[in-house]
Structure 1
Amino acid sequence: MRSPPSILVVLHDFALGGTERVAVRLATAMAGQGAAVTIFAGAGSGPLRAMVGPDVEVVVADPPIPRTRGSRRKLARAARAFVDRRRFDGVFVPGNFHWPVAAALGGSGIPVVAQVSAALDKPQRGRVRQWAFETRMRHLLRRADAVVALSDIARDQANRILRRPVASVIALPALDDDLAPPLAVPDSHPPIVLAAGRLVPEKGFARLVEAFADLPPAAARLVIVGDGPQAGGLQWLIEELGITDRVTLAGYVPDIRPWLDSARLLVLASDFEGFPAVLVEALAAGRPVVATDCTPATRLLVDGAGIVVPLNDSVALSQAIANIFAQPAPDPALLAASVAHHRIGAVAGAYLDLFDRLRR
């Protein structure tokens, strides 16, 4: 029987972000399965701090390390000093953003597991920038004991870039174990199109608003859930297009499930993504999706559950939304079943199994 391990999770802070959210959820779930979990954070600020479970210890760097230029290197040095004082059975480094921590902790005698959260091969980079990215990735993860990817494609890309078979696949822990079964698709008029995420340019919300403006006025309502620096610009665009009566900026919400329950479909309009948790959440709620071809994971998730459209094509985005409306609503239970392996309990168990193998 596996003895309870002590696991360290290193985070810059508790800001709203997919990487941070996954790390906090995973830490809480591993602690719930008996592990002694500590989060070492550069700063204790951020709304996700409230999501940390009561069994997880939180240690904040002293002095705190706010996000600034070069702060990830400072976080890496502080994390190395911390593990030199306290021993752990394993360290989890969540997402590409925190890879400098893996470089600092590699060789400390503690198994380091680094996660790949964002796309490894982006056409937008071009050949030179892609080469620079891969060179940096090899440097930062050269001493990682294991790399966790979220799909087979990302695993194969990671092994190719790192030039060693170090990566394996563990599903994104996007769903709670006690997640309610999906509700029937509502027969509301007009139907609600939902989008969710941080309001930043790369999420494509401006393009979505422009695409939505091309739909007939009575076709649907658009609700965008999230907050971020682009909120003011999006509000201006909505007013400029004359669709303020059809579009709602709902702001940040801790749980998008109630919004999904009232929606007809979810749209992801991003320029690039790693493995979009919002698509998993939408399918778990039994809602079809329209998504841009922003990551290989999109086609993996959307297969039979919606429509994938090209990047930078608002016309295709608008047409795909209309096509979903023209089709009968899919069986919500079948969509939910397709992502059941993303439940947090099974994923946390898979991580603990990986740490156990590395310990031995």
Structure 2
Amino acid sequence: MALRLTQAWGERAIDSQLVLGRSEGAMRSEWPALSYSSLAVRGLATARFETLWMILRLPGEIRRQRPDILFCAGNTYTVVAVAMKLLLGNDCPPIVAKVSNDLTRRDLVGPARWGYRWWLRLQGRFIDQFVGMASPMSSEIANAMQLPASAVAIINDPAITVADLSQTARTRALRYGAPQGRRYIAVGRLVAQKNFALLIRAFAAMAGPQDCLTILGDGPERAPLTRLIAHLGMTGQVHMPGHIGPVMEQLRESDVFVLSSDYEGVPAVIIEALAVGLVIVATDCSVSMASLLEDGALGELVPRRSTWCLEQAMRAAAVRISDAGRARRQASRFTVEHAADAYAALFARTVADVRKAPNPKNNSRVADAMS
């Protein structure tokens, strides 16, 4: 999202700088023309302590660039944003933070859940403006962070471009009517949150001999997932090729998209799957998921962590025909073009509001977005 927005802001002559905690990554080669600033030091691998490294290095970058806005593109990094407020005080620019994940976190139990709720309330005290990625998130954010409604803006998740929508119309019909089995696809980091083990078990329980499942992405759970696939005898039907380029190209070659996560915000890949016109099966992992799928009209919603329910929904999806036109209309609400303009307007309002406050920040550049 940060890459797409930064590119769109550049096209609108908005002065933005993308600040990275480390310089490596599969997507770097896909966006070579963007204006980057890396906090990494040559020869030092920062991946294992990236967040701490950003906290140590970002204050100097802020003092050097003097941005008007610090944009935190996902709440994974709100810890960095709060640290900037504490370290820089009145020299810290106003912060706009996008809430990119579910705040209920039903996966947490006991002290961990209490600690997470405390952390959300702390964010509400330090961050100037929050952004939710779909309308149902507004009350969730305000309640969790004990904020007035005015402190939460809604800007639909910039998951696709207008060009993406026009391209899907010419390619989607190719798969229907093919004699081979159904192609199921899932996308995400191979981490516990995505619960791909649940998906693999459900697929193994319902798959026909010609069906296949592709999981795009990489991460620390690759080895245990590979062992699970072998244990279930699905090595020839479940594939994990890693990160192999633009996701939508892979979606166009598939029939059913499956999301098995324990928790999410507004998954961009759901929007991409809607744009392509795929049949969708998803766990009820977000306050926004029911509205994204228009209460079942655009896909099947199942309880989290239920192998049987996911299996049954995937089985039914094999013979379901997607309402591609309705799905594309839903997806068209989540374009980068709309979001880039909406964020630029929000940044300007936030800067103006802070400068009206009794102790305004001393900023000198307009709409500089950093993540």
For the aligned pair, the TM-score class normalised by the smaller chain equals 0.7 to 0.9
- When the two structures are superposed, what TM-score results if normalisation uses the length of structure 2? 0.84
Out of 307, 330, 333, the residue aligned to residue 314 of structure 1 is 307
- Displacement of 1:62 after TM fit? 4.9
Aligned to 1:66: 46
| Secondary structure class of the residue paired with 1:266 | strand
Q: Does the 8 A contact of 1:39 with 1:57 survive in 2?
A: yes
Out of 162, 166, 186, the residue aligned to residue 177 of structure 1 is 162
Return the alpha-carbon distance in structure 1 between the equivalents of residues 216 and 41 of structure 2.
Answer: 35
Q: Does the 8 A contact of 1:103 with 1:142 survive in 2?
A: no
- Displacement of 1:220 after TM fit? 2.3
Higher mean C-alpha deviation, range 213-222 or range 339-348: 213-222
Return the alpha-carbon distance in structure 1 between the equivalents of residues 302 and 79 of structure 2.
Answer: 34
The change in CA–CA distance for 1:108 and 1:186 in structure 2 (over 3 A counts) is farther
- Displacement of 1:340 after TM fit? 0.6
Return the alpha-carbon distance in structure 2 between the equivalents of residues 74 and 190 of structure 1.
Answer: 47
| Secondary structure class of the residue paired with 1:178 | helix
Task: Map residues 212-291 of structure 1 onto 2, 5 A cutoff.
Answer: 212-218=203-209, 220-291=211-282
Can you give the 5+ residue segments of structure 1 that lack an aligned partner in the other structure?
Answer: 1-21
| Secondary structure class of the residue paired with 1:193 | strand
Return the alpha-carbon distance in structure 2 between the equivalents of residues 335 and 134 of structure 1.
Answer: 35
- Displacement of 1:55 after TM fit? 4.5
The change in CA–CA distance for 1:59 and 1:123 in structure 2 (over 3 A counts) is closer
Number of matched pairs: 337
- The answer to whether the aligner puts 1:338 opposite 2:325 as a matched pair is no
Return the alpha-carbon distance in structure 2 between the equivalents of residues 217 and 109 of structure 1.
Answer: 57
Q: Does the 8 A contact of 1:24 with 1:51 survive in 2?
A: no
Deviation digits for residues 170-225 of structure 1 (CA, Å, limit 9, x no counterpart): 11111023111332252222121111211223312222111111125346222222
- Displacement of 1:73 after TM fit? 4.1
Aligned to 1:5: none
Task: Map residues 149-164 of structure 1 onto 2, 5 A cutoff.
Answer: 149-164=132-147
Return the alpha-carbon distance in structure 2 between the equivalents of residues 277 and 55 of structure 1.
Answer: 21
| Secondary structure class of the residue paired with 2:184 | strand
- Displacement of 1:348 after TM fit? 0.8
Q: Does the 8 A contact of 1:208 with 1:317 survive in 2?
A: yes
| Secondary structure class of the residue paired with 2:13 | coil
Can you give the 5+ residue segments of structure 2 that lack an aligned partner in the other structure?
Answer: 353-371
- Residue 82 of structure 2 aligns with an amino acid whose one-letter code is A
Deviation digits for residues 66-120 of structure 1 (CA, Å, limit 9, x no counterpart): 1445x52442242222222321121101211211222233332522111111111
The change in CA–CA distance for 1:26 and 1:65 in structure 2 (over 3 A counts) is farther
Return the alpha-carbon distance in structure 2 between the equivalents of residues 253 and 340 of structure 1.
Answer: 25
The change in CA–CA distance for 1:201 and 1:72 in structure 2 (over 3 A counts) is closer
Task: Map residues 108-147 of structure 1 onto 2, 5 A cutoff.
Answer: 108=91, 110-126=93-109, 128-147=111-130
Residue identity over aligned pairs, in percent, reads 28
Aligned to 1:14: none
Out of 87, 91, 108, the residue aligned to residue 70 of structure 2 is 91
Q: Does the 8 A contact of 2:39 with 2:57 survive in 1?
A: no
Higher normalized contact order (CA 8 Å, seq sep 6+, divided by chain length): 2
- Residue 156 of structure 2 aligns with an amino acid whose one-letter code is A
Out of 6, 11, 15, the residue aligned to residue 36 of structure 1 is 15
- Residue 284 of structure 1 aligns with an amino acid whose one-letter code is A
- Displacement of 1:39 after TM fit? 1.7
Return the alpha-carbon distance in structure 2 between the equivalents of residues 177 and 210 of structure 1.
Answer: 36
| Secondary structure class of the residue paired with 2:318 | helix
Q: CA RMSD in A?
A: 2.2
- Displacement of 1:127 after TM fit? 5.7
- The answer to whether the aligner puts 1:48 opposite 2:48 as a matched pair is no
Return the alpha-carbon distance in structure 2 between the equivalents of residues 293 and 219 of structure 1.
Answer: 28
Higher mean C-alpha deviation, range 291-300 or range 240-249: 240-249
The change in CA–CA distance for 1:174 and 1:243 in structure 2 (over 3 A counts) is same
- Displacement of 1:134 after TM fit? 2.3
- Residue 351 of structure 2 aligns with an amino acid whose one-letter code is R
Aligned to 2:131: 148
- When the two structures are superposed, what TM-score results if normalisation uses the length of structure 1? 0.86
Aligned to 1:205: 196
Aligned to 2:176: 186
